[in-house]
């Protein structure tokens, strides 16, 4: 479904995460700019990293008890850097990353 910015600005319209992410142009290489220390993740009691990211970049892999990093969805908001417990983040390579089309 194509989303018009006018729809996005309506307070009564509820958009899913993927619909919201469609409003941001993202360009990434195959190389992740986000890393997770998986051992520290396994030993973390609350695993807050799974809940802090507005783009839901960090997901639990229940089979392997590890953290999946969907770095292509990163909005470069910096929240995981502030919360930094076992994640490391660096700027995407020049020319890559996000472009906010509507501010
Ligand atoms: S910078 Fe923001 S959007 Fe990107 S992974 Fe961290 S919390 Fe998620």
DSSP tag of 17: H
Measured by CA distance, the residue closest to atom 6 of ligand 1 is 80
Q: Could you list the pLDDT tens digit for every one of the 103 residues in the chain?
A: 566 666 656 666 677 877 777 778 888 888 999 999 999 999 998 898 999 998 899 999 999 999 999 999 999 999 998 887 789 999 998 888 888 766 5
pLDDT for 63? 97
Inside any domain, residue 24: no
Inside any domain, residue 64: yes
Q: Which domain holds residue 60?
A: 31-98
* Total tally of structural domains belonging to the chain: 1
81: CA distance to ligand 1 center in Å?
8
Inside any domain, residue 47: yes
Inside any domain, residue 25: no
pLDDT for 83? 83
100: CA distance to ligand 1 center in Å?
15
Nearest C-alpha neighbor of 101 from the set 17, 4, 1, 32 = 4
pLDDT in tens, 13-42: 677 877 777 778 888 888 999 999 999 999
- Kindly report the CATH number assigned to the domain that includes residue 79: 3.30.70.20
Q: Which two tokens stand for residue 74?
A: 């990163």
Q: Please list the residues that pair with 66 across neighbouring strands.
A: 61
pLDDT for 19? 79
Other C-beta atoms lying within 10 Å of the C-beta of residue 84: 12
Q: What is the pTM of this model?
A: 0.80
pLDDT for 21? 76
Count Cα atoms within 13 angstroms, Cβ side, for 58. 23
């Amino acid at each position: 479904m194509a989303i018009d910015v006018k729809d996005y600005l309506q307070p009564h319209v509820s958009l899913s995460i993927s619909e919201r992410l469609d409003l941001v142009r993202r360009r990434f290489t195959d190389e992740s700019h986000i890393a997770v220390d998986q051992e520290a993740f396994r030993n973390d009691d609350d695993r807050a990293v799974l809940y802090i990211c507005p783009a839901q970049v960090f997901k639990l892999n229940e089979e392997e008890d590890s953290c999946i990093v969907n770095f292509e969805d990163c909005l470069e908001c910096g929240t995981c850097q502030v919360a930094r417990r076992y994640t490391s983040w660096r700027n995407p390579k020049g020319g890559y990353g996000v472009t906010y089309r509507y501010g």
